[in-house]
Structure 1
Amino acid sequence: MITVEKIIEPNKNGRTHPFTVLCNDGLEYVIKMKNDFTNTHKVEFNELIAYRLAKLMNLSIPTAKIVCLSQSIIDSDANLSGIQAVSGPCFASELRRGTTALTRDLFNAAKNLNEIPSMFLFDEIILNDDRWSNWGNLFYDVNSSRILLIDHSDIFINGQIWTSYELNSYQCLPPTTVSLDGRNYEIAKDYVKGPAPFESIGKVINSLSDNQINNLFKDIPIEWQKNEEDVSTEDIIECKKFVLFQLRNYPSILNEIHKYFPSWKGGK
């Protein structure tokens, strides 16, 4: 496993108190770990499942890995030790250069505007209500000129404190959805247009096998599952069932969110 070699700095933004670090593979990452502000490993679990699902749906997202944060590194940094950071495997997203302050000009300059409809559907599948109203959860990458999905700590509606019971209750029709509003939404909704903006992502979802969905939940670090307040076996089982339910019923989700997109013409 890749290990954290050096703490560069704490990130100024983020309720989960992420840190920028240098790892022994020579790359810089933004890492998230259990600490006094998160109180649970569900932060890392949420990030990992969302990342794997985004990759499965062919969405643009920074490369992520699980890296090891040692106790000696924590002890050497007052900021980390001050928030009682927990050592062991943590979620790490490759540091990219760019901005979260997206403007219409940056949207227009992006090379992956065709992904915008898929990004909206992705957030409905994982019940992420913290993207389109939050300035910090979309990122314009200057090197690739692409809009990237970032920060998935607060998915499944209740973010760090969701329960398996809640995920079970969301498996219903008509489907549970999250509202789409906010400044980023007001810009991005204009790129959901024409008679079939979700056709391509629909084909991707329809091609996914149950085995591919099961693989989203493989190799979850055992350290994230040790305590009752973290990720239980029941949580993992119910989360898998929920994601599979959402993917199987994505047409119903599209029916529910059609009203948010005035430029989406034609049938649902």
Structure 2
Amino acid sequence: MTVYATEYIRDVEEGEMYAQLFRCNDGNIYVVKVMSNPRGRRALFNELVSYQLGGLLNLPIAKGQIIVFSKDIFNDPYLLDEMGIQEGPHFGSLFIKNASSFSLDKLPFCENISMLPEMIVFDHWITNFDRWSEPQNLLVVGKEQYKLVLIDHAHAFNGPDWTIGSLIYWTKNTDIIWGGIYQEFVPFIDNEDPFALALKKLEAITNEEIAAAFGKNLPSEWQVSKEEVKTLLFHLILRKKMIRKMMADLKDYFPIWSSSNR
């Protein structure tokens, strides 16, 4: 089913991509990032592919969807011109009610806190340097019993300005991703081998599953070539083999883990 935007609701206050809320013909509301966003069309590609890759790991990631704008379907076609939104495919994440940016005081009450290692492994796999310092990229959903949900992957693959050359560089690079938000996770996941399950899940993903995550009908309007898609696929396949080494380099941040093998 093609999902069409039908009604503008409001702007989203946070974020550098000027996302906006739209109601769509499937009855849902989406946080939509349009092709004319300041970070470019490749950011939309990053969002869609990251959503699909996160699904391979069963991560709690906000549903991603290609959102099509058409003046024949949108309730106020003149508004699209005023907002500078062209017809065609854009990217939307399902709007989640009762959601707020990550905060440490709610973390102990999150029912899926055991997935924190998998989130860290995922960010290393897709080279997402954004979440460790940006609390708005990790939502806490709920009122009393909370759930963590990942959003915003425009900066995957070391940012929306990636090229074939940069992918080749980052395929070989094993720099760790670490910062304040990840540090707050440590007391909740530190043990003798905190990333064992997360690594096992990632390594179980087949190359065919990774390829399928790109989909067959990536919008040509997003201006990512077949050669670039092929390079990114090989980048992810090869980088998956290097994640275990990267996680081992995090050991000094985990007191129990680092002391267990001494």
Gaps of at least 5 residues in structure 2 are none
Match of 2:213 in 1: 216
| 8 Å CA contact retained: 1:37, 1:83 | no
For 1:1-268, what aligned pairs fall within 5 Å after superposition? 1-38=2-39, 40-71=40-71, 73=74, 75-77=77-79, 81-82=81-82, 84-142=84-142, 145-157=146-158, 159-172=159-172, 175-182=173-180, 184-225=181-222, 230-265=223-258, 266=260
Q: Please report how far the alpha carbon of residue 116 of structure 1 lies from its aligned counterpart in structure 2 after TM superposition.
A: 0.3
Give the alignment's TM-score, normalised by structure 2.
0.89
Q: Please report how far the alpha carbon of residue 119 of structure 1 lies from its aligned counterpart in structure 2 after TM superposition.
A: 0.5
Aligned equivalents of 2:126 and 2:252: distance in 1? 19
Amino acid corresponding to residue 141 of structure 1 in structure 2: V
Q: Please report how far the alpha carbon of residue 76 of structure 1 lies from its aligned counterpart in structure 2 after TM superposition.
A: 3.1
Which deviates the most, 19-28 or 137-146? Answer: 137-146
Aligned equivalents of 2:84 and 2:220: distance in 1? 16
Gaps of at least 5 residues in structure 1 are none
Amino acid corresponding to residue 187 of structure 2 in structure 1: D
SS class of match (1:171): helix
Identity value in percent: 25
Amino acid corresponding to residue 176 of structure 1 in structure 2: T
Aligned equivalents of 1:151 and 1:188: distance in 2? 19
Give the alignment's TM-score, normalised by structure 1.
0.88
Runs of 4+ in structure 1 deviating by more than 6 angstroms, as ranges, are: none
Q: Please report how far the alpha carbon of residue 29 of structure 1 lies from its aligned counterpart in structure 2 after TM superposition.
A: 0.9
SS class of match (2:3): coil
Q: Please report how far the alpha carbon of residue 106 of structure 1 lies from its aligned counterpart in structure 2 after TM superposition.
A: 0.9
| 8 Å CA contact retained: 1:63, 1:94 | yes
Q: Number of aligned pairs?
A: 257
Aligned equivalents of 2:170 and 2:121: distance in 1? 16
Aligned equivalents of 1:262 and 1:54: distance in 2? 28
Which deviates the most, 91-100 or 108-117? Answer: 91-100
| 8 Å CA contact retained: 1:127, 1:177 | no
